[in-house]
Structure 1
């Protein structure tokens, strides 16, 4: 008996939600994790970045594998691995083991994301139906982002941070049980393995992502990072050469001859850069400056995440009326405007200064995710949908690495400088200011200090951290506004087939 396509869509959306629950729940639990495990600031970045690094590195290979062995099989395998990684994170008793668990979940996420999108894309032949289904797929990512901090907050009120990862264990188990019954198996009938492309592509993405993440803490001009740049450059040249000559490449470079398709990939990266980066800065501000609990932080983030879910449900229909050019350009401008609106927050302001920026950022993000994904998938033949979905997911994951890594690293590296300056300005002797700053970087509080000094340190820390968050928001907002310019110029109102495609057109006007 054939399975109704929407049942399969709902099932794979559970897997997508699981992948994004991990991102936001881990961000929500960072403060508690740091207090328990006491990692350095640079190590703490890897607790969230290890997952994105592995996903970005393997997502193209996973998309190819899904075409070869079966999209359902790869999705199901990814869900199993992700669930196992979540159990490992639950059992972790050190920062190293937690980072390892995040990497294991990254392997699962790399399989789940492109396979799920490819399943959704192949479930509908009508472009309008496909766009709506992709909108549902994108909405579930927002639902996962919303569930993560709320679930984490509820669990952290009664349990240790380990319990946060049980959310994904439950979702993963349900996904694994339902998938064989609800999701039909499909393959690419003529796809062949591009082993050289897989290996070189993995090195390219891994080296670039590692340099982005680690360069933020060790310096982008350090010897080790420069060496990684060299590995990236050499592997990129080899990868492009191999893919250009291969008869069935992992990544068809001819797709990028289309300026609109290329610009859409930039939009996909920018959307996650802004969304995840802004979310992280908001969480850090609420937990470190406003001293809110994880649950209170999660509730306040609903202004962003709930808005994202609602608008995502409407984005598929809206893009049919206004077209890709206006939709994607407006989304970038609105998301960038939301980030800049958050500059209204101060060290001692309330939620009234925070929610407008979160709401606007949620609207902007929702206008980008599903339409950019649909623009990529619908602009290629159905047989290349797996490649397109893997590629757009790769760019999204690169954006999700860039957002928290670049903006988060700006905050963590600028905060000590700002704090020391604030303490000295407040009359604290330079040697004492330096010692207090070093303790604050490792999560120490002012509780053990004399009352008068503790008050000074608390106020200085709030001002310094807010200033650091402002810098991250300013750079993030300006970046998004700048990317909106080539988007308006190169993204076409109507997506047509690429030079390598047969006549496939998304009838959007």
Structure 2
């Protein structure tokens, strides 16, 4: 229960922050490029530090690192509540990301250590993963209520309350455990963090400003150099932070890839759906959260039964089915048109929710069960890193596809409606600078008709790519995933 509270807290922040982006942008008067970092600073910190945090939890004590992570996360949430400018809010999100990086692998390692039997462990991990979905579901609902009654500042108080409860209960109910022979790998930690951080920064910033800028190219150079150095160091270290030899086994590598693809599709579909509901259907934050429930609530319910399905169908069949359903759900969302209503959307969300439930917990359990018990912490940190990388790629890649295609589609529709070329450019510039400026009265009708159609068509491309990536991943999953443990 305590570990699940900690995990739920981290995911509440993800979905509640997305729900609060529009009001906080209006209140703080921040640009679209800066707004990207309000949510992405959290993801950058998590994906960069989660592997190192997993190693530290093995060395220093998993309960100790978990408690410290909850403390940092709670502190960051309180700072975000008090933030009066974009810089402080982004810094608070980064601090929350540091805390989440400690919470995720340590909590999963404690679960793996507590439940030694593989079947029991799979069931416990299913509960652990369902609480992540519960956090994603609670976030928009709580944010919607607080945004309606108070302000965006209050959105971050939800995690402060959960964090304080978790801080009190952890020393009372969670047992301490360590890896008995784990050694410190400082070079691996530094190089691994640098490699992941530089690549993640390039993905996020490149998606917002363009991938051809010198700073983005430099980031990829840093990534390449640090990655090569990391591999050399880890292969020579007697007790590496990441056992790279495990990746020689196609099954282990496939599980890591599934983790990344799952979160790319899950978070990407969620974000695109939020954009549709808020910008096309003009729903408020609370109704947006309610209308996401077919995906999030289904994920929570089906996750509770995922362990039983694995026992009956096998891990490969379960994960292949989950990926296929995720892809079908994404394709089904293409039925949502600019004026079609919610009835065309919820079936796709429902199917995607079932698919994600068959992926998140089983793939996590497959990673942990595929290594010896003493390496469970490393496996937990690895799968969390790949999942977080996927959660960064989802909004960055799919969001970039939408934001780059939308202006072109809107330009074409306005031009087809007879709007003069000069006026078209002015309207698009006003909308893409933040969407707060309104067109002239003479253009209002043309824009009101063209905007939802162009935006929906742009979202369709994002959903289409999410579906294709999910279905493509079914091939290596069916071919390479096996039950046997890889040999280190």
Distance 1:355 1:470 in 2: 15
The Cα of 1:443 is off from its aligned counterpart by 2.9
The corresponding residue for 1:458 is: 448
Distance 2:186 2:394 in 1: 31
Matches within 5 A, 1:110-509: 110-445=101-436, 447=438, 449-450=440-441, 452-492=442-482, 494=483, 496-500=484-488
Secondary structure in 1 aligned to 2:305? helix
The Cα of 1:453 is off from its aligned counterpart by 2.1
In structure 1, the gaps of 5 or more residues are: 1-9, 501-509
Q: So what's the TM-score if we normalise by structure 1? A: 0.94
Q: So what's the TM-score if we normalise by structure 2? A: 0.98
In structure 2, do the counterparts of structure 1 residues 301 and 475 end up closer, same or farther at CA, with 3 Å as the change threshold? Answer: same
The Cα of 1:448 is off from its aligned counterpart by 6.3
The Cα of 1:364 is off from its aligned counterpart by 0.5
The Cα of 1:444 is off from its aligned counterpart by 3.4
The Cα of 1:445 is off from its aligned counterpart by 4.4
Q: CA deviation digits over 1:166-217, x for unaligned, max 9? A: 1111111111111000100001111111000000000110011111111113
The Cα of 1:40 is off from its aligned counterpart by 2.7
Distance 2:18 2:182 in 1: 38
The corresponding residue for 1:3 is: none
Distance 2:217 2:166 in 1: 42
Distance 1:122 1:293 in 2: 43
The Cα of 1:219 is off from its aligned counterpart by 2.3
The Cα of 1:33 is off from its aligned counterpart by 2.1
The Cα of 1:101 is off from its aligned counterpart by 1.1
Q: Among residues 52, 61, 68, which one is paired with 2:43 in the alignment?
A: 52
The corresponding residue for 1:89 is: 80
Q: CA deviation digits over 1:419-458, x for unaligned, max 9? A: 22222221221111111111111333465631x5222212
Mapped contact 1:273–1:404 kept (Cα < 8 A): yes
In structure 2, do the counterparts of structure 1 residues 458 and 33 end up closer, same or farther at CA, with 3 Å as the change threshold? Answer: farther
Mapped contact 2:109–2:377 kept (Cα < 8 A): yes
Distance 1:224 1:83 in 2: 33
Secondary structure in 1 aligned to 2:314? helix
Distance 1:221 1:447 in 2: 32
Distance 2:258 2:344 in 1: 28
In structure 2, the gaps of 5 or more residues are: none
The Cα of 1:251 is off from its aligned counterpart by 0.3
Distance 1:356 1:38 in 2: 37
Query: Which deviates the most, 438-447 or 347-356?
Result: 438-447
The Cα of 1:223 is off from its aligned counterpart by 2.4
Matches within 5 A, 1:99-118: 99-118=90-109
Distance 2:64 2:475 in 1: 41
The corresponding residue for 1:19 is: 10
Mapped contact 2:430–2:437 kept (Cα < 8 A): no
Mapped contact 1:446–1:454 kept (Cα < 8 A): no
Mapped contact 1:77–1:111 kept (Cα < 8 A): yes
Distance 1:222 1:82 in 2: 33
Mapped contact 2:42–2:96 kept (Cα < 8 A): yes
Mapped contact 2:32–2:434 kept (Cα < 8 A): no
The corresponding residue for 1:505 is: none
Secondary structure in 2 aligned to 1:157? helix
Distance 1:198 1:30 in 2: 33
